[in-house]
Structure 1
Amino acid sequence: MSRTTLASSLVCLLLSQAVADAEPLRVVTWGGTYQQSQENAYGAGFTAETGVALEWLEYRGGLAELRMQRDAGEVAWDVVDVLARDARIGCDEGLFLKLPDDLFPPEMDADLVIPRPNDCVGPNITWSWVTAYDARAYDGDAPDSLADFFDPERHPGPRAIAAFPQATLEMALVAEGVPAADVYDVLATEQGRDRAFSVLDRIAADLRFWSSGEEPVELLRSGDVAMTTAYNGRVAAAYLSGATEIRTIYDGQILDEEWFAVVAGTDREEAALAFLRHVARPEQQAAQARWIPYGPMRRSALDIIAANEPWFHTGGAVLPHIPSREDRIADALVLDPVFWAEHGPALSARFEEWRRTLGL
């Protein structure tokens, strides 16, 4: 069967399903403004095209709920937005459906800024861990590099970092000059870990910790900190929505990835596959960045944005805030979920002990 025939067959089948079966396709994601961006960019067009309604559900990540559904023989979800580690483990455990070879057009894989980790997932977004600062705190000599974040003598002021070690330790080593390609080899050694924590010690005198994505923006807006690490989409959205005192530094960003997967055992398999195919289109990838400034997975989506700026829904140009631009990903470190699966417990324990020594 050709790809065109397959796509047509899927649409026809879905249309007939929509008439015969009022049950919506259940798409599980992360809630908040991120989920709303997906509803706007992916959901409305998919339902208009296929007649299939979507039910958006929120979860907190991980695979525990999927394992329970599998073990009980009661699959309650159809499509899941998954982080890099869960995309790999879920596929290995058979929690996710192996996708048909011809589901996506043949040119898609070469168009991705990050390769698909396996045959269980379709493209969603990239996002990154960045540093951001309050421009009101710096008159003239504003920070412009990751190294500046860890240099409170040159750029004084209270800092904030995440309350967990992922990306934070990588940032510390990158700021020290460790090439992105070598960071995980260095961090796997005791000497490398000592080196990373010594960099964190430089900012420990006036440090706060954040746990949720909105906190860095709140800390900057309130003036409680002058600089912070953050999720790029949060600080960029704040800037594009009028908080122009919040500036993002993409130097040394730690790139992360999210994918869509179809839950094995779903009774809405054909609809779920059609949803993944819909989301993977460059037009839909670009549309998502209209609502939240995360990075499209497809380079061709970036071309669409560039040709149609200002693209953001508030009327601002969004491309300056996209982490997956070619000039930004060339030297970026991509977060390694395999490394964290192996070394995460030890590094988390040391990070917590370091926090305790600070009394924070």
Structure 2
Amino acid sequence: MHRKIILTSAMTLLATTVMAAEITVMSWGGTYGQSQVEAYHKPFTAQTGINIVALDSDNPAIPIKAQVEAGNVTTNVADVEYADAIRLCDEGLLEPIDPAILPPAPDGTPATEDFLPQGLSDCAVGSIVFSTVFAYDRSKFPDAKPQTILDFFDTQKFPGKRGIKKVPKAVLEMALMGDGVPADQVYAQLATKDGVDRAFAKLDSIKKDIVWWETGAQPPQLLADGEVAMTMAYNGRIFGAAVAEGKPFEIVWDGQVYEYNLFVIPKGAQKQEEALEFIKFATGTQRLADQAKWISYGPARKSSAGLVGLYQDGKTEMAPHMPTNPANMQNALGSSYEFWVDHEAELAERFSAWLSQS
């Protein structure tokens, strides 16, 4: 009996040790997910011995909310968009994160001063700046090339199908810019009935040519398969297809809508100490710069910018491919989380109704 108790205790201790040496991180998959595995997961495990289980989701905010509300939280860390981070935090579905625990910049600048605007919130720590852009297949336009967001909506001058994400966010903003509204006036317009009507009227003008997509991997595939001539897409996905796979795809930065992704800890998650250690590690200056070796998303810390170097191919300079590159910001729009927190429900309802119309 004594021997059995000792053996059981040893097995329990071993099981506890194994369990403690593993956390689950939910993100978006694809090239983006792989960039996190290479820049964050592998070196974190090598340094700490804590294994990372990577889970993919079309939008991690949705399963995180469901897990917390069901009282069955199986994810330790999640990667979410800024508006979702704010909303989930306000709803009490995330653990607070004290920015004082985050590592300073190499020169000693506190993290609170080193992160870009919107890079930190009460429950989230920023990692990257990404953007929704539009891209085209160069082989479809051997002569005149699309150059502005207006061209995306001009199917007479630039014939062909258009890929568009099946949500109102970023799409309505780009529709207004495609109708000539300057980036700095978009949200003022979209806050009015006339502005919303104008955005939907612009979408109406190409509705018969729209091919809808729902996940980030779809736009480059739609281009590659010839199902669309142009598509809205996440800039990193197009970069990956063009540079890593040699596809003849070109990004047009005019009219880009940029926003942040941030790490969060679901309310009631297990292993919060390990989760915090991962977030501290992954959002350090060097790690954020390292991620840019794998995908063209800008780091959320100022001190990382100067450390961004070459792509993993060893020859492609990454800086020109970042949404935050000054040359790419001429007519760029920062997504307004305040606007979407206030208007998402009504615009989603209007968008759904519009989709159902023939």
TM-score per shorter chain, which class? 0.7 to 0.9
Query: 2:7 is matched with which residue?
Result: none
SS at match of 1:230: strand
Q: TM-score, normalised by structure 2?
A: 0.85
1:160/1:229 contact within 8 Å kept: yes
Whether 2:198 is the aligned partner of 1:195: answer yes
Matched, 1:21 2:21: no
**8 Å CA contact 1:152, 1:202 repeated in 2:** no
Residue in 1 that maps onto 2:319 = 319
Corresponding position of 2:100: 102
Mean Cα displacement is larger for which, 74-83 or 40-49? Answer: 74-83
Unaligned residue ranges in structure 2 (runs of 5+) = 1-12
1:209 deviation in Å?
2.0
Q: Which moved more, 1:154-163 or 1:38-47?
A: 154-163
Q: For residue 138 of structure 1, report the CA deviation from its aligned partner.
A: 1.4
How far 1:67 moved relative to its partner?
4.9
What are the residue-to-residue correspondences of 1:1-360 with 2, within 5 Å? 21-23=17-19, 24-61=22-59, 63=61, 65-67=63-65, 69-70=67-68, 74-104=72-102, 105=104, 106-116=109-119, 118-305=121-308, 308-309=309-310, 311-313=311-313, 315-329=315-329, 331-357=331-357, 359=358
SS at structure 2 position matched to 1:249: strand
Match of 2:169, SS state, is coil
**In structure 1, what is the Cα distance between the partners aligned to 2:204 and 2:71?**
50
Structure 1 residues 121 and 220, CA gap change in structure 2 (3 angstroms): same
Which residue identity lines up with residue 206 of structure 2 in the other structure? Answer: I
Root-mean-square deviation over aligned CA pairs: 2.7
Shift of 1:170: 0.2
C-alpha change, 1:18 and 1:300, in structure 2 (3 Å) is: farther
Partner amino acid, structure 1, of 2:46: A
Bigger mean CA deviation after superposition, 287-296 or 199-208: 199-208
Deviation at 1:135, TM superposition (A): 0.8
Secondary structure of 2:84's aligned partner = helix
Shift of 1:303: 1.5
| Closer, same or farther: CA 229–74 of 1 in aligned 2, 3 Å | closer
Using the TM superposition, give the Cα deviation of residue 87 of structure 1 relative to its aligned residue in structure 2, in angstroms: 0.7
Shift of 1:324: 2.5
CA contact (8 A) 1:279 1:285 kept: yes
Contact 1:131 1:227 in 2 (8 A): yes
Shift of the alpha carbon at 1:280? 1.3
Aligned length: 339
Change (3 A) 1:77 1:204: closer
Q: Is the 8 A contact 1:238 1:246 kept in 2?
A: yes
Structure 1 stretch displaced more, 270-279 or 318-327:
318-327
Distance 1:158 1:144 in 2: 17
Amino acid at match of 2:219: P
Q: CA deviation at 1:341?
A: 3.4
TM-score, structure 1 as length reference: 0.84
1:9-33 alpha-carbon deviations (Å, 9 max, x no partner) = xxxxxxxx99972221222222333
Q: Which moved more, 1:104-113 or 1:118-127?
A: 104-113
Q: SS at the partner of 1:344?
A: helix
Say which is worse superposed, 33-42 or 331-340, in terms of deviation: 331-340
Matches of 2:14 and 2:324, distance apart in 1: 36
Separation in 1 of the partners of 2:166 and 2:255? 19
Q: 1:51 to 1:220 in 2, by over 3 A?
A: same
Q: Distance in 2 between matches of 1:88 and 1:157?
A: 38
Deviations 1:20-60 (A, max 9, x none): 72221222222333222211110111112222222223344
Give the Cα separation in 1 of the matches to 2:114 and 2:165: 32
| Displacement of 1:313 | 4.1
Q: Alpha-carbon deviations, 1:277-328, whole Å to 9, x = none? A: 11111211122122222222123323212xx33x234743333322132443
Q: Work out the CA distance in 2 between the residues paired with 1:72 and 1:356.
A: 32
